[in-house]
Chains A and B, each alone.
Chain A
Amino acid sequence: MTSIIRPRLFITFQMSSQFIRSLKRVFDLDYQDIPACLSHEQILSRIRANPPNAILFPATAKIDKEVISAGGDKLKMLAAFSVGYNHIDIKECKKRSISIGYTPGVLTDTTADSAITLLLATSRRIAEAMRTVRNGEWGTSSDMMWMCGKPLINSTIGIVGLGRIGLAIARRLQPFSIQRILYSGTCEKYFDSDNDKKLFKFVQFEELLHESDFVIIACALNEKTTNMFNKKAFEQMKNDAILINIARGGIVDQDALYDALKNGQIRAAGLDVTVPEPLPTDHPLLTLENCTIFPHIGSADEYARHQMAQICVDNLLNFFSGKPMVHQLQIDKL
Chain B
Amino acid sequence: MTSIIRPRLLINNQIPSQFIRALEPVFDLDYQDIATPVSQEQILSRIRAQPPDAMLLFGKILIDKELLSIAGDKLKMVATTSVGYDHIDVKECQNRGISIGYAPGVIADVVADLAVTLLLVTSKRINEAMRAVRNGEWGTSSDIGWMCGKPLANSTIGIVGLGHIGLAIARRLQPFSIQRILYCGKHEKQFDSENDKKLFQFVQFEELLRLSDFVIIACALNDETRNMFNRKAFEQMKNDAILVNIARGGIIDQDALYDALKNGQIQAAGLDVTVPEPLPTDHPLLTLDNCIIVPHIGGGDLSVRYQMIQISVDNLLNFFSGKPMVHQVNLDNA
Contact = CB atoms under 8 A, between A and B. Distances in A.
A124 B133 contact: no
Interface in B274-328: 277-279, 281, 286, 292-297, 300-306
B15 interface: yes
A37 B177 CA distance: 33
B121 A175 contact: no
A120 B135 CA distance: 23
B144 A16 contact: yes
Interface stretch (A200-208, A215-223, A276-284): A276-284
Given A116-B120, A129-B295, A152 B136 contact: no
Interface string A254-281: 0000000000000000000000011101
Given A278-B136, A295-B138, A142 B129 contact: no
Nearest to B286: A134
Nearest to A170: B175
Interface string A120-161: 110011110110111110111111111111011100000000
Contacts of A147: 295, 297, 300
Contacts of A60: 139, 142
B264 interface: no
Contacts of A149: 297, 300-301
A96 interface: no
Given A133-B279, A145-B302, A303-B151, A294 B130 contact: yes
A127 B130 contact: yes
B121 A117 contact: yes
Given A129-B297, A130-B294, A133-B294, A37 B176 contact: no
A312 to B, nearest CB: 10
Interface string A283-299: 00010000011111100
A120 B15 CA distance: 27
B21 interface: no
* Listed residue (A138, A153, A177) with the most chain B CB atoms within 10 angstroms of its CB: A138
The binding surface of chain B is classed by DSSP as loop
A111 to B, nearest CB: 11
A125 B294 CA distance: 10
B292 A130 contact: yes
A120 B113 contact: yes
Count class of interface residues, chain B: 35 or more
B146 interface: yes
Given A13-B144, A58-B144, A302-B151, A139 B117 contact: no
B295 A126 contact: no
B236 to A, nearest CB: 24
A292 B129 CA distance: 11
B134 interface: yes
B59 interface: yes
B113 A286 contact: no
Contacts of B135: 281
Interface string A97-110: 00000000000011
A114 B176 CA distance: 11
A331 interface: no
Contacts of A15: 144
B332 interface: no
Contacts of A172: 175-176
B215 to A, nearest CB: 18
B262 interface: no
A303 to B, nearest CB: 5
A142 B37 contact: yes
A309 interface: yes
Given A126-B117, A175-B171, A297-B147, A277 B139 contact: yes
A130 B293 contact: yes
Nearest to B274: A133
A191 interface: no
Given A117-B121, A136-B281, A300-B148, A143 B35 contact: yes
* Listed residue (A109, A133, A304) with the most chain B CB atoms within 10 angstroms of its CB: A133
Contacts of A120: 113, 116-117, 120-121
A294 to B, nearest CB: 5
Nearest to B296: A138
A35 interface: yes
Contacts of B8: none
27 contacts: A35-B140, A36-B142, A37-B142, A113-B176, A120-B117, A126-B117, A126-B121, A127-B130, A133-B278, A136-B278, A138-B278, A138-B295, A139-B278, A141-B37, A142-B58, A144-B14, A144-B305, A148-B305, A151-B113, A151-B301, A152-B113, A175-B171, A278-B139, A292-B130, A295-B133, A295-B139, A297-B149
Given A12-B142, A281-B135, A305-B144, 9 more contacts: A16-B144, A113-B152, A116-B120, A133-B279, A138-B296, A142-B58, A176-B109, A295-B138, A297-B147
Interface of A: 12-16, 35-38, 58, 60, 81, 109-110, 113-114, 116-117, 120-121, 124-127, 129-130, 132-136, 138-149, 151-153, 171-172, 174-177, 277-279, 281, 286, 292-297, 300-305, 308-309
Q: Which 6 A-B pairs have the closest CB atoms?
A: A278-B139, A139-B278, A120-B117, A278-B138, A295-B138, A138-B278
